[in-house]
Amino acid sequence: MNRELLNKAVAKLDLELTEQHYEACGLLLQELLRWNKKINLTAITGPDDMTVKHLIDSLHLVPEIKTGERILDIGSGAGFPALVLAIARPDCLISSIDAVGKKISFQKHISRLLKLTNFEALHGRVEVLANDRSAGFDLVTSRAFSSLELFVSLASPLVSATGKMISMRGADGQQEAICLQESIAAAGFVLEPTLSYCLPMKMGERSLVIMRKH
């Protein structure tokens, strides 16, 4: 983990992370590398790349979270942003769901290792979860999840009456959202201004497409 890069990003985002938070993030990346030697969890393995693309990118969601919210991360893979949110926001309940068992096994391992009492990792499909926990979350998010249109259709049934969805997209997130405004409205959501940002070390442009229930 590149602590200097992470420090700068935390300051820029105006976040408050304790030494315990930093240690947890470092251990998360350390374990990801260790598991990755046996199980393919990530193609991103350099210290700078992992710090930026896994930790810093995930932390951009934190300012959008309110105290005590119930959050679901769809298609969470190796646990980004879900595990980072659970570390940074112990006041919130973080759930993650993925259809790939080995990725959920890794997330459960990290949860036990870091004693994340506010985190649950679910192995399964979002469509099934929507039947069991309809309108059960204040925020539903995803990162690098197929199309925005598919995310909206899968996530919308899970959002509470006053909740929102945030899709973490690439540089073209705002354009995607504008093209989908009718579908977003049909699902019962209002498109809020898209938040665009650049990752450090010229590692790419990103955007948060924010949709609030109306």
- Which residue from 24, 90, 92, 80 is spatially nearest to 55, judged by alpha carbons? 80
Q: Is there a contact between 95 and 136 (Cβ–Cβ < 8 Å)?
A: no
Give the pLDDT band (50/70/90) at residue 144: confident
Task: Count other C-beta atoms under 10 Å from residue 207's C-beta.
Answer: 21
Count Cβ atoms within 10 A of the Cβ of residue 200 and give its class: 0-12 exposed, 13-18 middle, 19 or more buried: middle
**pLDDT tens figures, 153-186:** 999 999 999 999 999 999 999 999 999 999 999 9
Looking at residue 192, its amino acid is E
Q: Quick check: pTM over 0.85?
A: yes
Q: Is there a contact between 57 and 143 (Cβ–Cβ < 8 Å)?
A: yes
